[in-house]
């Protein structure tokens, strides 16, 4: 049996398969869930208000947050953290503004100073390696 996918669906399927392998889960299962939820990204909003390729609900996101709080899984923490940074950068259009919205508002100046300092250090280290 064959299915015809759009280019967007193929690209989405490849991304899901990559992350499924990275997380050690069955990629066919992950792709099947995404197919049911959004036709691999074609319908990224549900009648119930869920959004995205997996149509994650606020209930699912709260459950994810609870599981992350009691689990020590660096891979999930990194994937969620980097994904959230990407969303913030898309929204705020600059690293500085995205960073300001990542941290506690009361700590913004301290946090921005520390992040900028580390970024400068990492840039210098990269130059030294060349």
The alpha-helical segments, DSSP class H, found in the chain are 7-23, 27-38, 58-70, 74-92, 95-102, 108-129
Domain boundaries defined on the chain: 1-57, 72-130
pLDDT band at 60 (very low <50, low <70, confident <90, very high): confident
d(CA 6, CA 39): 10
**End-to-end CA separation in angstroms for the chain:** 51
Which helix (DSSP H) or strand (DSSP E) does residue 89 occupy? helix 74-92
pLDDT band at 59 (very low <50, low <70, confident <90, very high): confident
Predicted confidence (pLDDT) per residue in 102-120, tens digit: 999 999 999 999 999 999 9
pLDDT for res 129? 87
């Amino acid at each position: 049996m064959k299915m015809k996918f759009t280019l967007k669906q193929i690209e989405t399927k490849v991304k899901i398969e990559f992350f499924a392998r990275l997380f050690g889960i069955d990629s066919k299962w992950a792709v099947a869930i995404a197919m049911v939820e959004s036709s691999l990204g074609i319908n990224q909003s549900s009648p119930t208000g869920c959004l995205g390729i997996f149509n994650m609900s606020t209930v699912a996101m709260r459950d994810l947050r609870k599981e992350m709080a009691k689990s020590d899984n660096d891979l999930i923490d990194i994937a969620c953290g980097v994904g959230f940074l990407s969303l913030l950068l898309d929204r705020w259009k600059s690293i500085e503004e995205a960073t300001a919205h990542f941290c506690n508002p009361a700590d913004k100046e301290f946090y921005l100073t520390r992040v900028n300092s580390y970024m400068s250090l990492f840039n210098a280290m990269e130059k030294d390696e060349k």
